[in-house]
Each structure stands twice: as C-alpha cells, then as structure tokens.
Amino acid sequence: MIAPDNLNLVLYRCTEAASAVAVARRDRELVRTRMKCGDGSEVLVRAGGRYGETGGYSGYEGCDAAVTPVLGAHGKANASDYERLINYGFLLTWKPPRKLARHIIS
C-alpha cells in the first residue's frame, strides 16, 4: 500500500502553446522540466497535496496530467526538485498476512 505520508507530484504533458498558457496562469506552481515526450510535447511539473487527495490536477487545456507519489521533506515538496523527488521514490507500507503473523508469533 502506498503510504499516506507521501505527497503528489503532478506531471503534465502539454503542447508547446498549452504549456506557455499553463505556466503563465500558474507561474509559481508549474516548473518546466528538461524532459520532452516522443511527440515533442513539453513536460511540466508541480507539487500537489497529500497522496490520495484528488482534485486540481486538470484544468490546463492541451495538457494531460499524471500523478505519482513522492517523499517530501517535512510534508512539503518543491516542484523544482522534481528529479530528486522522483529519484528518492516513495514510501510503501504493508501488513504481513494473518497466517504468517500467527506463525511468526508462535
């Protein structure tokens, strides 16, 4: 299970014209990346809220959004650090199956 301690990193694939409009509309939230899609589309990124929270990811005409969990520092993530955030990954949690847990305890 992806832990709720993670934050959302939102990646946008945008046409060149759409990325210019999106950046102008949300100048501090969106960061241009060095990444390009195979079709030449630009990739923008912004830090979202807590993992599992929804909403506010669309709204950029000409852009498609993808959300990925990341570990933030002290509950915050800076979109300009997108490479580091992606490289550091995210936190997974799990509970051992009940049968296994009983076997370990006995």
Q: Where are the domains of the chain?
A: 7-105
Mean pLDDT over 68-73 rounds to 87
pLDDT of 79 over the 80 cut: yes
Give the mean model confidence (pLDDT) for residues 80-85: 90
Among 2, 6, 13, which Cα is nearest to 73's? 6
27 pLDDT more than 60: no
Strand partners, 16: none
pLDDT at 78: 86
Please give the average per-residue pLDDT across 73-79, as a whole number: 79
- Residue 87 confidence (pLDDT): 92
User: For the segment 28-47, what is each residue's pLDDT rounded down to a tens digit?
Assistant: 678 888 888 888 888 989 88
**Containing H/E element for 43?**
strand 42-50
Instruction: Note if the pTM is more than 0.85.
Output: no
**The tokens of 55 are what?**
């909403």
Can you say how many angstroms the Cα of residue 2 is from the centroid of all Cα atoms in its chain? 13
